[in-house]
C-alpha cells in the first residue's frame, strides 16, 4: 500500500497544486469460507488483504467534489448542493453513491479534492468495489471528523452498492474492508453483525490464484441466486435461510423446484461449514479446514452452480500436490475470479509450480498468483 500512497500523493500535488490533508487506505478481501451466506443472514469468514485502494484527499471551502481515478486516467466532478445522480462512468457511481448516502446523514460536509489509486484486480472476486466504497467513506469521515460507527459506515457503503450502483450484494465485503484485523480472519454473523477474530496460524499462508476467467453476467446471475434463496425461504416459511435446517428442507422438497432445493441446500450446509471452519482454524486443524473447503467448493459447483470449468480445473491442480495438508476453493461471488488456498508455508512454491505447469496447458488461460497477508481494515496512511 505504501507505493500506492506515494503515487496518489504525487498525483494529488500535480493535479490540485497543494499537499493532501490525508491519505486513506481500504483493503480488498478474500473469503476463506461462507459464500453467498451473507444475504441469507448467515456466517462468513473473510480476511482483509494487502491489496486495496488508496485515496489522497484535501478539504475544499465550497461544495465541489473533484475525483481523479488514476487507474482509469479519468476524472469526475459533482456538487454536493445539487442532487447526486448516476454517472455513465462505472467506477464513478461507487464514489457518487457513497457521497449521496453520507451527505444525507451529514449535510454539513463540504467539498473535497481526491486522487484514487488501487491494486485490487478488477472483477476478480477480491472486492475492488468494496475497497473503493470504504476508502471513499473513510476519507469523508476523516476529513470532516464524523463520529460514525464503523459498522454503520460499512452499511452505508453497502446501501450505495445496492441502491445507487444496483448490485444487490450482502454486507460481507464492506464489513471486512472496514473492520479487518491484521493476521486474523473475521467470523461475521451477518444477522447480528457480531464478529469473532480468528487468528490465522503463522505457519499457514493465504494464497490467491486468479483464474483470469472473465464472465459478463456476474451481476444478473448473482441477483438471480438471491431471488432463488428468497423463494426457498418463503416456501420454508422462515425469514431467511439462516433459520432453515436440512430436516426442514427435506420435508418441503416436493414443494420446490430442484434448482431452488439445491440453492437452499448450499446455503444451509455452507453456514454449518463456516462455523466448523472457524473452530478448526482456531485449533490450527488444517486437515479439517481442507475437508471443509473442498466440500464448500463442491457445493458451489453442484448446488449453487457458480463455479466455471477453468476454476474447477484450477482447484484440482492445487489439490493434487496439496493433498490433506491444506484447503482450496473458489472464493467470492463466482462465475470466474479467484481461488483461495490455505496452505503450510513450505507448500507455497510447490503449488505455484503446479499451477504454472498445468493451468495454461489445460485451459489456455494464464493465471495470476498472489501471496496474501491478513491486514487491518480501512485506516489513515501516515504521510
Ligand atoms: C459478492 C458480494 F458482494 C458479497 O456480499 C457476497 O455475497 C459474495 O459475493 C458471495 O459470498 O462479493
Q: Where are the domains of the chain?
A: 2-197+375-380
| Integer Cα distance of 226 and 197 in angstroms | 27
Q: For ligand 1, say whether the CB of 39 is within 6 Å of any of its atoms.
A: yes
Task: Burial-class residue 41 by CB neighbours within 10 Å (0-12, 13-18, 19+).
Answer: buried
Three-state DSSP class for residue 91: helix
* Paired residues of 341 in beta bridges: 207, 328
Please write the tens of the pLDDT for every residue from 248-282: 999 999 999 999 999 999 999 999 999 999 999 99
Q: For ligand 1, say whether the CB of 169 is within 6 Å of any of its atoms.
A: yes
CB 141 within 8 A of CB 99: no
Distance 173 CA to ligand 1 centre (A): 7
Segment 77-99 shows an average pLDDT of: 96
Segment 61-66 shows an average pLDDT of: 97
Residue 381 corresponds to which cell in the numbers above? Answer: 496512511
Counting ligand 1 atoms within 8 A of each CB, the residue from 40, 220, 332, 337 with the most, and so the one to mutate, is: 332
For domain 2-197+375-380, give the fold.
Answer: Ribosomal Protein S5; domain 2 (3.30.230)
Please write the tens of the pLDDT for every residue from 335-377: 999 999 999 999 999 999 999 999 999 999 999 999 999 999 9
| Integer Cα distance of 155 and 183 in angstroms | 24
Q: Is pLDDT at 154 greater than 80 in this prediction? A: yes
Neighbours of 77 (CB within 10 A): 11
Segment 161-169 shows an average pLDDT of: 94
CB 45 within 8 A of CB 198: yes
Please write the tens of the pLDDT for every residue from 14-63: 999 999 999 999 999 999 999 999 999 999 999 999 999 999 999 999 99
215-223: long-range pairs with CB below 8 Å, 24+: 215/308, 215/335, 215/336, 217/335, 218/123, 218/333, 218/334, 218/335, 218/336, 219/166, 219/167, 221/306, 221/334, 221/335, 222/167, 222/168, 222/169, 222/333, 222/334, 223/167, 223/168
CA atoms within 13 A on the CB side of 318: 33
Residue 149 is assigned to a ligand binding site = no
Handedness of CA 17, 18, 19, 21 (dihedral sign): negative
Neighbours of 62 (CB within 10 A): 10
Residue 161 is assigned to a ligand binding site = yes
CB 126 within 8 A of CB 29: yes
Strands (DSSP E) contained in the chain are 22-33, 43-59, 64-69, 74-79, 112-118, 184-189, 195-199, 204-210, 327-331, 338-344, 368-372, 379-380
Number of the ligand 1 atom closest to the C-alpha atom of 130: 3
Distance 127 CA to ligand 1 centre (A): 8
Distance 18 CA to ligand 1 centre (A): 38
Q: Is pLDDT at 290 greater than 70 in this prediction? A: yes
Q: For ligand 1, say whether the CB of 38 is within 6 Å of any of its atoms.
A: yes
The answer, as to whether pTM is greater than 0.90, is: yes
* Paired residues of 198 in beta bridges: 185
Residue 69 corresponds to which cell in the numbers above? Answer: 481515478
Q: Is pLDDT at 321 greater than 90 in this prediction? A: yes
Task: Burial-class residue 54 by CB neighbours within 10 Å (0-12, 13-18, 19+).
Answer: buried
Three-state DSSP class for residue 68: strand
Least reliable range by pLDDT among 13-17, 123-127, 146-150, 193-197: 123-127
Residue with the nearest Cα to atom 2 of ligand 1?
Answer: 169
Confidence label for 122 from pLDDT (cuts 50, 70 and 90): confident
Neighbours of 27 (CB within 10 A): 31
Confidence label for 216 from pLDDT (cuts 50, 70 and 90): low
Q: For ligand 1, say whether the CB of 123 is within 6 Å of any of its atoms.
A: no
Residue 127 is assigned to a ligand binding site = yes
CA atoms within 13 A on the CB side of 267: 27
Q: For ligand 1, say whether the CB of 173 is within 6 Å of any of its atoms.
A: yes
Residue 123 is assigned to a ligand binding site = yes
Amino acid at each position: 500500500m505504501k507505493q500506492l500512497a506515494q503515487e496518489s500523493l504525487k498525483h494529488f500535488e500535480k493535479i490540485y497544486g497543494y499537499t493532501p490533508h490525508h491519505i486513506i487506505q481500504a483493503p480488498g478481501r478474500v473469503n476463506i469460507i461462507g459464500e453467498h451466506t451473507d444475504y441469507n443472514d448467515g456466517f462468513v469468514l473473510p480476511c482483509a488483504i494487502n491489496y486495496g485502494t488508496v485515496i489522497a484527499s484535501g478539504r475544499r471551502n465550497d461544495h465541489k467534489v473533484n475525483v481523479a481515478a488514476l487507474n482509469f486516467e479519468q476524472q469526475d466532478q459533482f456538487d454536493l448542493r445539487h442532487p447526486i445522480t448516476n454517472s455513465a462512468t462505472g467506477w464513478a457511481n461507487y464514489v457518487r453513491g457513497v457521497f449521496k448516502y453520507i451527505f444525507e446523514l451529514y449535510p454539513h460536509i463540504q467539498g473535497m479534492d481526491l486522487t484514487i489509486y488501487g491494486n485490487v484486480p478488477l472483477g476478480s472476486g477480491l472486492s475492488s468495489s468494496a475497497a473503493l466504497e470504504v476508502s471513499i467513506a473513510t476519507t469523508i469521515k476523516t476529513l470532516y471528523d464524523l463520529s460514525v460507527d464503523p459498522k454503520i459506515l460499512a452499511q452505508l457503503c453497502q446501501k450505495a452498492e445496492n441502491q445507487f450502483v444496483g448490485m444487490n450484494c450482502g454486507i460481507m465485503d464492506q464489513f471486512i474492508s472496514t473492520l479487518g484485523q491484521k493476521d486474523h480472519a473475521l467470523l461475521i454473523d451477518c444477522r447480528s453483525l457480531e464478529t469473532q477474530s480468528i487468528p490465522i496460524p503463522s505457519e499457514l499462508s493465504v494464497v490467491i490464484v486468479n483464474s483470469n476467467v472473465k464472465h459478463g453476467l456476474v451481476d444478473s446471475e448473482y441477483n438471480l441466486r438471491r431471488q432463488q434463496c428468497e423463494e426457498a425461504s418463503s416456501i420454508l416459511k422462515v425469514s431467511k435461510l439462516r433459520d432453515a435446517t436440512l430436516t426442514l428442507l427435506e420435508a418441503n422438497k416436493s414443494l420446490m423446484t430442484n434448482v431452488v432445493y439445491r440453492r437452499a441446500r448450499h446455503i444451509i450446509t455452507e453456514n454449518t461449514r463456516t462455523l466448523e471452519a472457524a473452530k478448526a482454524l482456531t485449533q490450527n486443524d488444517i486437515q479439517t479446514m481442507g475437508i471443509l473447503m473442498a466440500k464448500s467448493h463442491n457445493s458451489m459447483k453442484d448446488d449453487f452452480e457458480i463455479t466455471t470449468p477453468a476454476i474447477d480445473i484450477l482447484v484440482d491442480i492445487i489439490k493434487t500436490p496439496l493433498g490433506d495438508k491444506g484447503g482450496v476453493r473458489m472464493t467470492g461471488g463466482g462465475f470466474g475470479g479467484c481461488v483461495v488456498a490455505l496452505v503450510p508455508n513450505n507448500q507455497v512454491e510447490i503449488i505455484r509450480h503446479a499451477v504454472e505447469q498445468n493451468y495454461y496447458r489445460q485451459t489456455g488461460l494464464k493465471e495470476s498468483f498472489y501471496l496474501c497477508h491478513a491486514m487491518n481494515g480501512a485506516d489513515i496512511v501516515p504521510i
